[in-house]
Chains A and B, each alone.
Chain A
Amino acid sequence: MLGKGVVGGGGGTKAPKPSFVSYVRPEVILRLHPVGVLPEDLLCLPPGEQLLCEASTVLKCVQEDSCQRGVYGRLVCTDFKIAFLGDSDPALDSDETQFKNKVIGENDITLHCVDQIYGVFDEKKKPLFGQLKKYPEKLIIHCKDLRVLHFCLRFTKEEEVKRIVSGIIHHTQTPKLLKRLFLFSYASAAQNHTASDPRNHTVMFDTLQDWCWELERTKGSMKYKAVSVNEGYKICDRLPAYFVVPTPLPEEDIQRFQGHGIPIWCWSCHNGSALMKMSALPKEQDDSALQVQRSFLDGVYKTVHRPPYEIVKTEDLSSNFVPLQEIQTAYCKFKQLFLIGNSSEFWDTDIKWFSLLESSSWLDVIRRCLKKAIEISECLEAQNMNVLLLEENASDLCCLLSSLVQVMMDPHCRTRTGFQSLIQKEWVMGGHCFLDRCNHLRQSDKEEVPVFLLFLDCVWQLVHQHPPAFEFTETYLTVLSDSLYIPIFSTFFFNSPHQKDTNMGRESPDAQSKPLTLLTVWDWSVQFEPKAQTLLRNPLYVEKPKLDKSQRKGMRFKHQRQLSLPLTQSKSSPKKGFFREETDHLIKNLLGKRISKFINSSDEFPDSFREFYENWHSKPVDYHGLLLPHIEGPEIKVWAQRYLRWIPEAQIVGGGRVATMGKLLEMMEEVQSLQEKINERHRGAEALPAGAPCLPRNSARLSSLFPFALLQRPSSKPVLPTSSWKALGDEDDLAKREDEFVDLGDV
């Protein structure tokens, strides 16, 4: 019913017939590209960037249909990005340009953002890699942010084609050394450029104070301590210089297995129970070594199990949870649904859209993550138990789940700085291998698993379901996911804090030069103008109501009392046996004899989960308390903004969430000014005009893809190019259009 027939000749099945008006005439082409006279300043390179190769007279195609039109320009490859510089840059609305990314232009692809490169040879699309014997007439670049760019090289000189194609392939696909990252050349070139945001309150967790502060904030300092045994990475490279462990844990235990096998604190719940993570001990064959490990773990558990500590429940994520491999395959299938070259492909997939989506099982992976996080929060919140996450290196799913749990349980993590601090704490300092997982160095495709993206998608589900609970918007998450591939920020370009510190040039021979200062992603002013940053802030965020002091005192008192009477645990008596058994199981697990599903073996578990989940959802939502997502089938959705934003067909002019945003901001502004007026009456003073942010209005209707939609501008055809134009013989109109759009007939 929705077959290609409706698409008409635009469908991919038919090649465009020569009978159709061809917009190309030789003189047009000549007029369009005065070869080689491009002003150099069009290409504004950031500091440290070097031009590697370039090709002129490249046609950037509009991908939306088979009759190929596009814009001529220069394709450039630098050590930072692949850029396309159109000869006739369409003048954008000034309103729109201020929402542009300052680092990455609309036609720029950073080298790390390139996912796949295809070449078209005689109408056939083939992936390109290695040495090429034949050079394609068209280059299709799939990006990791799901853009698909088509570059037609038909009119380019042959040697230029060779240079640019092999250059692009070489620089994007061959393994790289860490030292060759653009990050370093940028940092050394931009040394004197101090981009420090004074209002950036993100806690970086690179000092002992940061950890102490976090302990204070979560009131975990009674039972946990920040340690500095790993200062200078003496114990191991994997762990950050400072971290937090249970207070009675002796420091030599930490050193014993280089940080393996010890519980590391992540976060404390308001009721005193805590979330911890632990990396598994190395697998040993030798019996005596096993014995040593067993007694070591016994010792560790004794300290953690003794009061005042709560009962520990262990979640073994390496054996009882989604394997990384599955995440990878799910995402690969999922992203294919959006990496679509032309509209006819989209029509073909449309009719089976839901089953395709389901078969990718990406949404199911998200659901399982959210479900696990709810289970963990149930243990912490309702059962008052400590939860210990266990994983091989405690740096993938541990990061995902612990940060997800914190987003759900800790309202501080739902503010922007809180969320950034959380990522800093759990992912950056937690040693998530961003370099390997994003495959930034192209060293191993196997290691590439979008764990962090999965986390962002899980958070998006929460943001989507409970918008007023978050200070940031989905645009923030989208922009953050894009920043993963911009190699001027250090945040996502190291495998561990150790790797970062050793590569900062501290021990470089020319010691007289200052250590490199690397930018962090959290300095959003590097990427966006202040106006654009308003899009990252949720205007509907409900700020925490200020408690008056008496209330606060009461709370603290209650908390302390709970701590001082640790034996009055509500849950202790029926579970005494569970205690001993669990450590046993745990030890077995750790020693490699994985006993699967022992956690789910207890029958009451799913029931208490269900009850907790339903109970929470039956009450009105407290945006500053525990926040649980819905995980039923219809509730897990596609992060449309991230995945659909480059698809011109998905554009809804004048629609989408942006349409209400304008109204919303206007009303916020009005409320604000009224409030000021009222305050002014109180004070009897002059009021200042409120400078509230506002979106561009009235000039043109924004589209649902905003702020990403402006990138679609040049890729659209003139108004209704139907036969009627021709029937009309409206020459004037055609002539006008020839300036911008070129039809290539049968390319």
Chain B
Amino acid sequence: MLWRSRGRKGSLSGPKSARANRMPEPRTRQFGSCLTSGYLPEAGRSGGGVSGLSRVQLLRPGSQLKFIPEEIVIYGRDFRLLKVGFEAGGLEPQAFQVTVAIVQARAQSSQTQQYRAVTLSTAGQASGSRKPPIPLLETSEDWETELKQQGATGWRVSTVNERFDVATSLSCYFWVPNGVLDSAVRRVFDHFHQGRGPRLSWHHPGGSDLLRCGGFYTTSDPNKEDIRAMESMLQAGHSEVVLVDTVDEMPSLADIQLAHLKLRALCLHDSSVADDKWLSALEGTRWLDFVRSCLRKASDVSVLVTSRDRSVVLQERGDRDFNGLFSSLVQLLVAPEARTLFGFQSLVQREWVAAGHPFLTRLGETGATEEAPVFLLFLDCVWQLLQQFPAEFEFSEFFLLALHDSVRVPDTLTFLRNTPWERAKKSRQFNSYTQVYTPGYSQTPAGNSINLQLSVWDWNLRYSNEQILQFHNPCYDPEHHPDAWCPRQQLSFMAPGPPSSLWLFSRGALTPLNQLCPWQDSPSLLAVSSRWLPRLAVSSENLADQEWGLPSHWGACPLPPGLLLPGYLGPQIRLWRRCYLRGRPEVQTSGSALTVAGLQDELSCLQELLRKWTPRISPGDQCKKKDPNAILSPTH
């Protein structure tokens, strides 16, 4: 069925109004595959637009086509709008068949897609066994290298979860403090929700550590030794610990899902909202409001990380949604290396994919009720940062768009599994599966099966070289703050924390805590609900602590190098037009970024010309020739 309808696609009269604007759309071939595997259409609608006798039918999975369509309109879940018109006469039977095929494919896919085979084999053959463009963090070497790059000397890679027996939602490897034994790690992790104990996310060159962990598993009964181990893991050698409740003041998952649905309804069905009511309709979706809350909190946490030498622990009950969102946002704000193309991709791979964000559930591929596009919310936040700091990011808006669109493309496993365990299981199974059917794979030894694994980061599966070139932000200017590029030196502004002080960061303020874990002095406390509410220490400092500054107080005083503080006022949060409004005909790409690209082209053209004339020109003058592979690999 798959091939049949893909073959038919060639006989369509071509997209009529899907205007070729300059954003990189996936190649047509791949778009066909999206269609047939049913990820794209939310609902197909067909009607006679040309004849004027417009009959419109909404096609849902399982509905019958009532007439021969002249035009199919496909509303994509990724905000794409595809209109396909059939040429009048001659094509009617095919038009009918194609439409029916699409509806059927969608119906089938929505029933069976949870663990359906992925259509990646054709692309995978060509690539053979090569290194993935981004370390997939499936081997301990990847983790070791990454740890070394971060310069986190007090940390080591723990292999305790190699067989997924500590937590299936965790990756095989993670970082724990040097001084904690694997046996202790295993015991400590038992006392956290779903076994997701405290792990290092990122080490600040100035000394602070950013940790993430799940909620305390309050029905367990740890002994004194466990508690001590737990505390030392949270403290990670710092005298000051700040617990950040990442869910605090955040919308619920259901809120996010609702906002996203509303946003999609607003952006795709454009005619319903009058131009002068657009703004309040946009506000009514609350999506931008959520984006704003995320940016604000991320900015606060990044100040926490940079201002003092402390251990900042992100805590969320499940540790799989907002923790990922904030740990990656904070790293984008604090670490210049996370803003490169390579760095950003490995960030997503580490904090989302390897950390077990339930992509499949959250993006609604399983039909589960816990659908919530947390990852898309994250991408929107990143886009806001990109808007606000156009010279600080190596990747462009197009890259974010490509990532946004890849989330539902079923050709790699990256976003199609809920946990690293499922991914590992599937990939092994998948490899043996293909070995049976494709002769090309039978020669490859089973040992490097992991290398065969394609990821979403293999962009050339879906995008042409010209499109991949556009992933590069022409305005990127790493020399903007040169000291950011030698970040390993100790930063002087970090003062050591006071002896063992514990804080809770919530509602924008720091509150002192008496104890880190809920069990310490009164075992009876265990009865409290699963979401542990810390008891606030009564102290005269309490009020003053609310003075804990807004980041704007940094004002014009020189910021620590590399730190970005985003704006999050109402007027500064914008709608990602090129993503959400691309179904609309009037949205055109324009803006300075492209003109800068044009300028760069002119520049390289002139340099080329000059080089032809003067072979003796010093190579240092020349711009690096742009090459898609070079862009996607670490350059710095």
Residues of A that sit less than 8 Å from B by CB = 1-2, 5-10, 17, 19-21, 64, 67, 343, 346, 349-355, 357-358, 361, 363-364, 367, 465-468, 540, 614, 617-618, 621, 630-636, 638, 640, 643-644, 647-657, 659-660, 662-664, 667-668, 670-671, 674-675, 677-678, 681, 697-698, 700-701, 703-704, 709, 712-713, 715-724, 726-728, 730
Contacts and interface: CB of A to CB of B under 8 A. Distances in A.
Contacts of B554: 653, 716, 719-720
B592 A664 contact: yes
Contacts of A663: 391, 475, 477, 596
B392 A364 contact: no
Given A10-B549, A354-B570, A660-B592, 18 more contacts: A1-B289, A353-B569, A354-B279, A354-B280, A357-B279, A358-B276, A367-B276, A633-B276, A650-B569, A651-B555, A652-B389, A653-B565, A654-B392, A655-B392, A659-B392, A704-B567, A719-B554, A724-B495
Contact of A728 (B292, B495, B558, B569): B495
B117 interface: no
B626 interface: no
Given A649-B552, A704-B388, A355 B283 contact: yes
29 contacts: A1-B250, A9-B543, A9-B544, A67-B547, A346-B569, A350-B569, A353-B571, A355-B280, A361-B276, A468-B595, A540-B599, A618-B585, A621-B590, A632-B586, A633-B279, A647-B569, A652-B566, A653-B556, A657-B592, A662-B391, A663-B391, A663-B477, A667-B599, A671-B603, A678-B613, A697-B480, A700-B558, A716-B554, A726-B541
B251 A1 contact: yes
B289 A467 contact: no
A716 B570 contact: no
A678 B610 contact: yes
Nearest to A353: B570
Nearest to A664: B596
Interface residues of B, number: 92
A308 B575 CA distance: 50
Contacts, number: 287
Contact of B541 (A2, A6, A670, A723): A723
Contacts of A659: 389-392, 475, 477, 480
Contacts of A1: 249-251, 289, 293
B603 A670 contact: yes
Contacts of B565: 652-653
B547 A723 contact: yes
Given A343-B552, A667-B600, A655 B610 contact: no
B24 interface: no
Of all A-B residue pairs in the complex, the 5 with the closest CB atoms, nearest first, are A716-B555, A633-B278, A353-B570, A6-B508, A354-B283
B77 to A, nearest CB: 20
Interface string B594-625: 01100110110011011001100000000000
Nearest to B575: A634
Contacts of B606: 671, 674-675, 678
Interface of B: 19, 249-251, 273-280, 282-283, 288-289, 292-293, 296, 303, 307-308, 388-392, 475, 477, 479-482, 493, 495, 497-498, 501, 507-510, 540-541, 543-550, 552-559, 564-567, 569-572, 575, 577, 581, 584-588, 590-593, 595-596, 599-600, 602-603, 606-607, 609-610, 613-614
Given A662-B391, A713-B556, A722-B548, A674 B19 contact: no
A498 B460 CA distance: 69
Contacts of A633: 273-279
A654 B564 contact: yes
Given A343-B550, A654-B480, A659-B480, A364 B283 contact: no
A655 B388 contact: yes
Contacts of B277: 358, 633
B571 A20 contact: no
Contacts of B479: 698
B557 A350 contact: no
Contacts of B477: 659, 662-663
Contacts of A704: 388, 567
A640 B606 CA distance: 36
Nearest to B307: A720
Contacts of A674: 603, 606-607, 610
Contact of B545 (A618, A654, A717, A723): A723
Contact of B279 (A5, A355, A648, A719): A355
A716 B558 CA distance: 11
Contacts of B572: 640, 644, 650, 652
Nearest to A644: B571
A57 to B, nearest CB: 25
Max chain A CB contacts within 10 Å: which of B493, B606, B607? B606
Contact of B586 (A8, A351, A630, A728): A630
B388 A652 contact: yes
A463 B510 CA distance: 45
A136 B172 CA distance: 68
A638 B497 CA distance: 44
B613 A655 contact: no
Given A674-B610, A723-B510, A723-B547, A465 B590 contact: yes
Contacts of B497: 724
A674 B602 CA distance: 10
B300 to A, nearest CB: 8
Contacts of A662: 391, 477, 480
